[in-house]
Each structure stands twice: as C-alpha cells, then as structure tokens.
C-alpha cells in the first residue's frame, strides 16, 4: 500500500468520526471496494520463537507484539515515538516498536522484555532496577530495561553519543553518557536518578 493510500484511509476515518454513529457503523460494515485492508504474511522471530503472522500491512510492530502475540510487556505510552515505553531490540538495535511497521521486520530477530529475563531468573539489568528502585508505577520500565541493555551494547561497540568528548575514543560509561543515551525513555514517576544508578552498576560489573 502506498503512503498516499494510507493517508487517504486515515482521512476516511476522520470523516467517519464526524458522522452519526449509525451511519459510521454502516460504512464500517461495507468497506468501499479497493479500500479493504491489505494483508501480508510476516515471518519473524520473537524471543527465540519463530512466528508467521497474517497482518494488515499498517500494523505496527508494537501492535503485532501486543495484540497478535499477546506479549504485553512492551507498553504503549504515546504511540508516536515520544515516550520510549515500547522500546524493543530488533536485530541488536533498540527501536520504538510503535514507529515501525511489522512488515518491515520480516526475517528479523526481536527481543522484548519477556525475552530478557523471567520472574524466576531476572536479567542482570532487571535485578539492578529492582535493587536500586529504578521504577515506581513500572509502566515505563520494560522500555527502560530494553533500552538500558542496548545502551551498554552500544557503548561496548564504541558508538559515540551527542555528549561523547572524543568521537574516535571508546565512550566511557558516565552518568552524562547514560542520561543522554536514555533520554528517549521518559518516566512520569521520575525514577531517573535510580535508573542511572542501576545502569552504572551493571556497566561496572561488565567492565
Ligand atoms: S509508545 Fe512508542 S514511543 Fe511512546
Ligand atoms: S516508573 Fe512510572 S512511569 Fe516510570
């Protein structure tokens, strides 16, 4: 489906919102020919398990995980790339799953919070979040933990950030580096300082 077709179908939804409910329902029940969702088979591996899903091509990776695979650990905070609650690791890189279409991940290996650890066997980053009280309500925490795990991989791979002094040297794990790299993960409860402490502890153990 072209970008133009996606925009047109979005416009149709807005118009439907302004109609009486009965008219909107009638229209929803009888989609115009040519406007039916385009479906595609998407094969991807999530937390080590292979899946093939038949999806509307407009389905985001986040909705594929939550609605189709029932992996509800990844959270939907804003649904437009501003909060980081939906962060997952795709092919070794952290991404906002709400900003990525599932069809773009055919053949990819995805890791969600469910694939990092279990309640009986927590990932070291999850243990550190618990030890340092890196959360309150916990809504942002799955995204924070996935992001934090990927941040340490990025630093280990020598990828500089906006606050790295020397772009050619291997970045050091400083509080400034962690804050900058985690700046896409918002926490309404304000657990930021404890999150930095948790990540610093895990980085120290890996050094
Ligand atoms: S839900 Fe994806 S960034 Fe907020
Ligand atoms: S712990 Fe509540 S939003 Fe972060």
The string of pLDDT tens digits covering residues 4-28 is 454 444 444 444 444 455 444 445 5
Strands 93-96 and 109-111 turn out to be: unpaired
Note the ligand closest to the C-alpha atom of 77: 1
User: What are the residues whose beta carbons fall under 8 Å from the beta carbon of 64, sequence distance 6 or more?
Assistant: 42, 53, 55, 102
Distances (CA, A) of 131 to 6, 88, 118, 188, 202: 46, 23, 16, 20, 11
Element (H, E) at 62: helix 61-63
Cα–Cα distance, 143 to 151 (Å, whole number): 12
pLDDT at 30: 58
Distance 84 CA to ligand 2 centre (A): 11
Ligand that comes closest to the CA of residue 186: 2
- pLDDT at 61 > cutoff 80: yes
Cα Rg, the chain, nearest whole Å: 20
* DSSP 8-state code for residue 54: E
Question: What is the mean pLDDT of the segment spanning 137-166?
Answer: 96
Q: Model confidence at 35, in pLDDT bands (50, 70, 90)?
A: confident
DSSP state of 46: E
36 lines ligand 1 (CB under 6 A): no
From edge to edge, which strands make up the β-sheet containing 93-96?
A: 49-56, 39-46, 109-111, 87-90, 93-96
**Is residue 81 pLDDT above 70, yes or no?**
yes
188: Cβ below 6 Å to ligand 1?
no
Q: Which atom of ligand 2 is nearest to the CA of 138?
A: 1
Beta strand 39-46 with 109-111 is parallel
What's the 195 CA to ligand 2 centre distance in angstroms? 11
Would you place residue 149 in the very low, low, confident or very high pLDDT band (cuts 50, 70, 90)? very high
Q: What percent of the chain shows pLDDT beyond 90?
A: 79
Q: How many whole angstroms separate alpha carbon 56 and alpha carbon 35? A: 12
pTM as predicted: 0.83
Q: Is the pLDDT of residue 205 over 90?
A: no
Rounded to an integer, what distance in angstroms lies between the CA atom of residue 192 and that of residue 186? 9
Over the range 102-139, which residues count as b (16 or more CB within 10 Å of their CB) and which as e? bbebeebbbbbbbbbbeeeeebbbbebbeebebbeeeb
């Amino acid at each position: 489906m072209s970008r133009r077709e996606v925009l047109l179908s979005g416009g149709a939804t807005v118009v439907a919102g302004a109609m009486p409910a009965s008219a909107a329902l009638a229209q929803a029940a009888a989609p115009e020919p040519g406007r039916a969702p385009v479906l595609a088979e998407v094969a991807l591996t999530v937390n080590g398990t292979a899946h093939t899903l038949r999806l509307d091509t407009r389905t985001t990776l986040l909705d594929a995980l939550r609605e189709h695979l029932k992996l509800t650990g990844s959270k939907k905070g804003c649904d437009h790339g501003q909060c980081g609650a939906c962060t997952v690791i795709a092919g070794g890189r952290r991404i906002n799953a709400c900003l990525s279409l599932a069809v773009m991940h055919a053949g990819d290996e995805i890791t969600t919070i469910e694939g990092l650890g279990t309640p009986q066997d927590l990932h070291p980053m999850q243990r550190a979040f618990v030890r340092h009280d890196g959360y309150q309500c916990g809504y942002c925490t799955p995204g924070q933990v996935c992001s934090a795990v990927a941040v340490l991989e990025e630093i280990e791979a020598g990828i500089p950030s906006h606050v790295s002094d020397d772009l050619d040297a291997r970045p050091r794990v400083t509080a400034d580096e962690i804050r900058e790299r985690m700046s896409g993960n918002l926490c309404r409860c304000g657990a930021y300082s404890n999150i930095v402490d948790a990540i610093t502890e895990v980085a120290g153990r890996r050094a």
